[in-house]
């Protein structure tokens, strides 16, 4: 019941998480098609994804100002921007043009991501309870459902643009219900020290580990199953779908655990589980073992990023939440600069098995980060 009540409290930002999950799940399942359409090898495709990373990081620097400008309409603007931006890249056949159009996708996704996370953090402060995992779970669930639907659409040879257009229509229909007033906070009554640079860097690094690891599976799991393990289109789409379903389960479970356990314990356990899943996926002899690996990875990595943002929201002064989360998100999503290129280069040189093995090692970096941030004082006194 705690999960249901958390979603009722945060129903509007939770809906925004669903919209973001729908489009990225669709894209993940279409990666083999889009990659072939562009005629790109692994290294080039990874480099082209820098287009979305550039837009993503750029928008996150601008998101706090955009949030102030649009106010209660910020999420509505973000959803419209994202839904329309996704209609262009699936039709591109020229690599550089594809990268340019993905920049607008990244800008829209980044803006909406910052605003919806800030709204959840505000609600956590108002209701004095954790809500972040439940909202991120809705992204994962939508991502998984979208990837599954897209896989079936691919099997039916449905044109890529038609599938994206369908999700665009659904998203635009939700806009009238997404108006939400930001919390009104008096900065003069909320002064608890200087600029929280150190908390932002630590929390941002935790988010970086989580989102980089998640991004590699989203973009490359279908290729690993179809090319390395000889799976078909539907089998390939099930890779990112499995990640999404287990991440949704992990985040819903994390919502309950976060009300009963220390964040430090949850983070360390999650990192170990996620790393084990990456190893299983790397060594998988068949698609079924890859599904187990990606599922285990999703189960572990699911709570790392949300907890990093939730911790930050509790540490910083309330009037600085949007800015702090924006800066941490910039650090976290800067992984989209590195992950596609590194994954593509490693895959091109050594294969996807070695690349996913590297993901396992990277996930373990969140353990010392969690140990460090656990020692910092928190406004709500939670551990």
Give the model confidence (pLDDT) of 153-205 as tens digits: 988 889 999 999 999 999 999 999 999 988 776 555 555 556 778 888 988 89
Q: Give the pLDDT confidence score for residue 194 in this predicted structure.
A: 64
**Residues 326 and 114 sit within 8 Å (Cβ to Cβ):** yes
pLDDT of 16 over the 60 cut: yes
Residue 347: CB atoms within 10 Å: 25
Residue 184 in domain: no
**Residues 112 and 135 sit within 8 Å (Cβ to Cβ):** no
Q: Give the helix ranges, DSSP H, for the chain.
A: 2-9, 11-38, 42-48, 50-70, 74-85, 95-127, 132-155, 160-174, 197-223, 233-257, 263-283, 287-301, 304-315, 321-333, 335-350, 352-363, 366-373
pTM of this prediction? Answer: 0.75
pLDDT tens digits, 277-310: 999 989 989 888 988 998 899 889 888 988 888 7
pLDDT tens digits, 18-73: 999 999 989 988 888 898 899 988 778 878 887 887 887 787 677 888 888 999 99
Distance in angstroms between the alpha carbons of the first and the last residue of the chain: 23
Q: How many domains does the chain have?
A: 1
| Range(s) of the domain holding residue 293 | 2-179+196-373
Distance, in Å, from the CA atom of 300 to the CA atom of 251, rounded to the nearest integer, reads 9
pLDDT of 231 over the 50 cut: yes
Residue 56 in domain: yes
- Write out the DSSP string of 90-144: GG--SHHHHHHHHHHHHHHHHHHHHHHHHHHHHHHHHHTS--HHHHHHHHHHHHH
CATH number at residue 238: 1.20.1250.20
Distance, in Å, from the CA atom of 169 to the CA atom of 46, rounded to the nearest integer, reads 29
Residue 378 in domain: no
Read off the pLDDT band of 380 (50, 70, 90): very low
Per the document, the length of the chain is: 383
Residue 381 in domain: no
Q: Which of 62-71, 98-107, 319-328 has the lowest mean pLDDT?
A: 319-328
**Residues 241 and 29 sit within 8 Å (Cβ to Cβ):** yes
**Residues 81 and 112 sit within 8 Å (Cβ to Cβ):** yes
**Residues 224 and 290 sit within 8 Å (Cβ to Cβ):** yes
């Amino acid at each position: 019941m705690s999960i249901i009540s958390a979603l009722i409290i945060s129903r509007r930002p939770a809906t925004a998480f669903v919209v973001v999950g729908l489009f990225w799940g669709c894209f993940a399942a279409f990666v083999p098609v889009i990659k072939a359409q562009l005629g790109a090898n692994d290294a080039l495709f990874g480099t082209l994804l820098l287009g979305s990373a550039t837009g993503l990081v750029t928008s996150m620097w601008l998101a706090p100002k955009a949030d102030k400008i649009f106010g209660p309409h910020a999420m509505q603007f973000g959803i419209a921007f994202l839904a329309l931006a996704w209609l262009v890249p699936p039709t591109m056949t020229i690599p550089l043009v594809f990268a340019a159009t993905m920049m607008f996708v990244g800008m829209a996704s980044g803006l909406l991501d910052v605003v919806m996370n800030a709204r959840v953090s505000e609600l956590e402060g108002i209701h004095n309870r954790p809500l972040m995992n439940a909202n991120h779970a809705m992204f994962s669930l939508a991502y998984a459902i979208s990837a599954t639907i897209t896989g079936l659409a691919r099997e039916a040879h449905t044109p890529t643009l038609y599938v994206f257009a369908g999700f665009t229509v659904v998203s635009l229909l939700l806009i009238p219900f997404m108006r939400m007033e930001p919390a009104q906070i008096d900065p003069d009554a909320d002064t608890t020290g200087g600029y929280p640079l150190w908390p932002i860097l630590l929390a941002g690094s935790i988010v970086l580990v989580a989102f980089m690891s998640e991004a590699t599976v989203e973009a490359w799991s279908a290729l690993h199953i179809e090319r390395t393990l000889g799976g078909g289109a539907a089998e390939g789409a099930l890779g990112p779908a499995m990640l999404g379903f287990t991440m949704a389960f992990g985040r819903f479970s994390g919502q309950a655990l976060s009300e009963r356990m220390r964040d430090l314990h949850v983070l360390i356990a999650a990192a170990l589980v996620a790393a084990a899943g990456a190893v299983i996926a790397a060594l998988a002899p068949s698609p079924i073992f890859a599904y187990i690996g990606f599922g285990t990875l999703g189960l572990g990595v699911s709570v790392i990023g949300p907890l990093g943002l939730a911790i930050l929201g509790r540490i910083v002064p309330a009037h600085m939440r949007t800015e702090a989360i924006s800066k941490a998100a910039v650090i976290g999503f800067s992984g989209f600069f590195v992950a596609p290129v590194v994954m593509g280069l490693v895959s091109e040189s050594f294969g996807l098995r070695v690349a996913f093995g590297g993901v396992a090692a990277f996930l373990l970096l969140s353990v010392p980060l969690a140990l460090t941030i656990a020692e910092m004082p928190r406004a709500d006194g939670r551990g």
